[in-house]
Amino acid sequence: MTNAIIKTENLEKIYGKSTIKTHALKGVDMEIPKGSFSCIIGPSGHGKSTLMHLLGGLDKPTSGSVFVDGMDISKLSDNKLSEIRTQKIGFVFQFFNLLQNLTASENIQTAMMFGKISPKAQKKKAAKLLELVNLSDKANAKPSELSGGQQQRVSIARALANDPDILLMDEPTGNLDSESEAEVLKHIFEIHKTGKTIVIVTHNQELARKSEFVFEIRDGKISDSPFKAIQLGS
Amino acid sequence: MNIFNLVSKNLLRRKGRFVFTLLGITIGMAAFVALLSLGSSMQRELRAQAGMLDANLVITPTNWCAFDQISILTGEALPESLHYDVMERISSIYGITAVPYLTQRTAIQNLPVMVTGIYPNEMKDFRRWEIAQGVYFAADNERAVVLGSSIANNFDLNLGDVLTIRGEPFPVIAVLSPTGSNDDTSVYLPLTVVQEIYEIGPYISFIVARVSDITNMDSYIAAIVDVVNVSVTSDEQLLSTVLTMLGSVNATLQLIAGVALISAAFGIANTMMAAIYERRREIGILRAIGGKSSAIFKIFLLESGLYGLLGGIIGVVVGFVASIVAAPIIAQSGISVLMKGATPTASFDVSIVITAILFSIVISVVSGLYPALKAAKLTPVEAISYD
Ligand SMILES: Nc1ncnc2c1ncn2[C@@H]1O[C@H](COP(=O)(O)OP(=O)(O)OP(=O)(O)O)[C@@H](O)[C@H]1O
Ligand SMILES: [Mg+2]
């Protein structure tokens, strides 16, 4: 694939220094095409989050490389990585995504602050993003006043704050009831249609089935998966 | 959103902890400012009194200590300890004008007041006294009193009133015009009368002298020491001795305030460390959404710096109020002879305000340095993986 926005080469991650080492990733090669919708699935503790952190430059691999837009980010400085995250990547996590003492709008604005957007423009854009996830009426609500699904929608809006090309989500609906999950997924699909590349770590088989690419991680490696056929077929 | 906004919202999220941490630095700063402003007002007062002494030399017994010398500046009664003879001999030295002081205590309306025995005419010339009311002493042994202006005002005394001193009645014959010096706070009688009623004999407390040529101070001092066994101090020396003593007392007090400030600094450091552990996850989120480690550093440092700014401002206000309230109480309690000079004049001093607030900020920034560094060093994943 030539249009890969994310590509890894023999990615390895070993946690821990001396005695207790965890070999979390054992040589992962993958390519994620620009504008695609991909899922990462696999049993608990087998390295999904680890992989996602490396893809987004949140952590550095022990060896191997991650290319984002053709740039090897695995050797970048901490500062440079922060800039890449601001410009190109939006993250959504499973739990406690929002800053609890800030309102929904302020949470989104904080991300824009790191993107060097003026406070005035921040407010405007935050309002737009909240509209996108159907939460205009909750702009001034604190996370504690929002349901789990609403919090995740704010998190998604925040991930879009600096208009990144890539959204990386680690079990964004893992904590939600099916109704809220459907609502959140609906927004994610809509966002995908605007041209963003979406990578979701999920345990939701149905979602995996609907996605264009599925990567199953087992024991730190990409394994042959029952979804491979669909992946190839799409 | 800007960083300042973010930080001020963080600061207030734990109101109890915020208040207690702030109290720490506020109390430390308040103590510091109160002592600083008391100290500087005492210094100012002593300088003013020394200036008003308007003498070039102070002659005291050789065995007096610095505390006694301070009392000359602050206007305390001092023991009679120079033989009158000394006065005669010094007066006879060419180029020296000297006046004796014999200081004693009495009470008016049950409050302690200083009685000074003087040479009426010499003293009036020497101190350039003006008479506000009445007629000044006509004879060197007149059995009457002349009042300093504050005494007349404070006790509401008028010409013709009678003061009882050592059981003997003395009519008020004159009131001096205000001089702004300690002269205002004494009752004056002729020297011989004081010696008689206090049964002192031919003794005086100390002598104040002016020389005709101040460029030749050393030779005058030599001349005096040559004729009598006394200690001669120039008023400048006296002032510097006193200021040195005051300085060391102040330094001690400030050291105590300094200890309070150091413990406040640890309070801030402690609060910030606790904040890091609580907000680990948040730090991770901030990093994930693009915050650089330098931004995390700034956020934490600014937060502790704000404690310093707020604590400094409140502390300065509280400290000044305390010093204004405390000054007269300290003076009355008589714990320290030193404090007496400073009676009610603790005052607002811009340089203290600026110094104190800057100091407070520096302290809190320094104490926030380590926590901020620790927060900045957390890797995003370390912070996010925390449960
Ligand atoms: N910060 C860390 N330090 C040490 N070991 C870690 C760290 N993060 C993850 N691990 C280990 O690496 C392995 C992979 O963890 P990872 O979080 O990637 O799994 P996962 O597939 O996301 O699991 P889950 O579905 O439960 O989220 C696990 O054995 C885990 O214990
Ligand atoms: Mg995980």
Is residue B340 scored above 50 in pLDDT?
A: no
Residue B164's pLDDT is what? 93
Is residue B356 scored above 50 in pLDDT?
A: yes
Mean pLDDT, residues A136-151? 95
Contacts of B346 (CB under 8 A, 6+ apart): B37, B38, B41, B320, B323, B324, B326, B327
What are the tens digits of pLDDT across the range B276-311? 888 888 899 999 999 999 999 999 999 999 999 999
Set of chain B residues whose Cβ sits within 8 Å of the Cβ of A101? 9-10, 13
What are the tens digits of pLDDT across the range A159-190? 999 999 999 999 999 889 999 999 999 999 99
- Residue A24: in which H helix or E strand, if any? strand A22-33
Ligand whose nearest atom lies closest to the CA of A20: 1
pLDDT classification of B339: cutoffs 50, 70, 90: very low
What are the tens digits of pLDDT across the range B159-209? 999 999 999 999 999 999 998 788 888 999 999 999 999 999 899 999 999
Residue B347's pLDDT is what? 61
For residues B187 and B193, give the distance between their C-alpha atoms in angstroms, rounded to a whole number: 13
8 Å CB contact between B114 and B181: no
For chain B, say whether A151 makes contact (Cβ under 8 Å).
Answer: no
B128 Rama sector, left if φ>0, alpha if ψ -120 to 50, beta otherwise: left
Q: Is A46 in the pocket of ligand 1 (CB under 6 A)?
A: yes
What are the tens digits of pLDDT across the range B96-107? 899 999 999 898
8 Å CB contact between A205 and A39: no
- The alpha carbon of residue B290 is apart from the nearest alpha carbon of chain A, in Å, by 4
Residue A155's pLDDT is what? 95
Mean pLDDT, residues A100-127? 94
Ligand 2: distance of its center to the CA of A222 in Å?
A: 15
Residue B348's pLDDT is what? 66
Structure tokens given for A78: 């901490």
- Residue B343 is which amino acid? T
Contacts of B80 (CB under 8 A, 6+ apart): B102, B104, B198, B200, B203, B204, B205
Is residue B337 scored above 70 in pLDDT?
A: no
Beta bridge partners of A201: A40, A170
CA-angle at B230, arms to B228 and B231, nearest 5°: 145
CA B141 to each of CA B83, B119, B161, B173, B186: distance values in angstroms, whole numbers, following the listed order: 19, 9, 19, 14, 18
Mutate to test the pocket of ligand 1, among A49, A92, A175 (most ligand atoms within 8 A of CB): A49
Ligand 1: distance of its center to the CA of A122 in Å?
A: 35
For residues A187 and A198, give the distance between their C-alpha atoms in angstroms, rounded to a whole number: 12
Give residues 184 to 213 of A whose Cβ lies within 8 Å of B.
none
8 Å CB contact between A141 and A64: no
* DSSP characters over A31-78: EEETT-EEEEE--TTSSHHHHHHHHTTSS--SEEEEEETTEE-TT--H
Average pLDDT, chain B: 85
Mean pLDDT, residues B56-72? 79
For residues A108 and B98, give the distance between their C-alpha atoms in angstroms, rounded to a whole number: 84
For residues B138 and A77, give the distance between their C-alpha atoms in angstroms, rounded to a whole number: 95
For residues B289 and A160, give the distance between their C-alpha atoms in angstroms, rounded to a whole number: 10
Angle between the N-to-C axes of helices B84-91 and B217-227, in degrees from 0 to 180, rounded to the nearest 10: 130
The residue in chain B having the minimum alpha-carbon distance to the alpha carbon of residue A161 is B289
CA-angle at B177, arms to B173 and B178, nearest 5°: 130
Is residue A234 scored above 70 in pLDDT?
A: no
Mean pLDDT, residues A2-13? 90
Q: Which domains does chain A have, with CATH numbers?
A: 4-233 (3.40.50.300)
Q: Using DSSP, how many helices (H) and how many strands (E) does chain A show?
A: 8, 10
Residue B335's pLDDT is what? 34
Structure tokens given for B353: 């305000």
Is residue B343 scored above 60 in pLDDT?
A: no
Set of chain B residues whose Cβ sits within 8 Å of the Cβ of A78? 292-293
The three-class DSSP label of residue A162 is: coil
Residue B220's pLDDT is what? 87
For residues A137 and B377, give the distance between their C-alpha atoms in angstroms, rounded to a whole number: 38
Q: Which of A177-181, A198-202, B196-200, B232-236 has the lowest mean pLDDT?
A: B232-236
pLDDT classification of B331: cutoffs 50, 70, 90: low
Is residue B338 scored above 60 in pLDDT?
A: no
Residue B132's pLDDT is what? 93
Cross-chain Cβ contact B293/A82 below 8 Å? yes
The residue in chain A having the minimum alpha-carbon distance to the alpha carbon of residue B282 is A99
Residue B288's pLDDT is what? 92
Mean pLDDT, residues A16-29? 89
Residue B189's pLDDT is what? 96
Residue B39's pLDDT is what? 79
Residue B334's pLDDT is what? 39
Residue B194's pLDDT is what? 95
C-alpha R_g of chain B: 30
Note the Cα B219 to chain centre separation in Å. 34
Instruction: Give the residue with greater pLDDT, B237 vs A228.
Output: B237
Cross-chain Cβ contact B1/A110 below 8 Å? yes
Residue B52's pLDDT is what? 66
Mean pLDDT, residues B383-387? 72
Mean pLDDT, residues B227-256? 81
Is residue A226 scored above 60 in pLDDT?
A: no
Set of chain B residues whose Cβ sits within 8 Å of the Cβ of A119? 1-2
Average pLDDT, chain A: 91
Q: Is the dihedral of CA B359, B361, B367, B373 positive or negative?
A: negative
For residues B254 and B34, give the distance between their C-alpha atoms in angstroms, rounded to a whole number: 10
Highest average pLDDT, of A218-222, B57-61, B241-245, B318-322, comes from A218-222
In terms of C-beta density within 10 A (0-12 exposed, 13-18 middle, 19 or more buried), how is residue A5 classed? buried
Instruction: Give the residue with greater pLDDT, A100 vs B44.
Output: A100
Residue B261's pLDDT is what? 85
ipTM of the complex: 0.91
Residue B387's pLDDT is what? 58
Beta bridge partners of A33: A4
In a mutational test of the B interface, the residue from A82, A117, A120, A175 whose CB has the highest number of chain B CBs within 10 Å is: A82
Contacts of B347 (CB under 8 A, 6+ apart): B37, B41, B324
Angle between the N-to-C axes of helices A119-132 and A178-193, in degrees from 0 to 180, rounded to the nearest 10: 120
All structural domains of chain B with their residue ranges: 3-48+244-384, 62-229
Residue B177's pLDDT is what? 94
Q: Is the dihedral of CA B335, B336, B341, B342 positive or negative?
A: negative
**Nearest CA, atom 29, ligand 1:** A45
For residues A70 and B30, give the distance between their C-alpha atoms in angstroms, rounded to a whole number: 60
For residue B175, give the nearest of B205, B193, B155 by alpha carbon: B155
Mean pLDDT, residues B239-257? 81
Q: Which of A153-162, B288-297, B323-332 has the lowest mean pLDDT?
A: B323-332
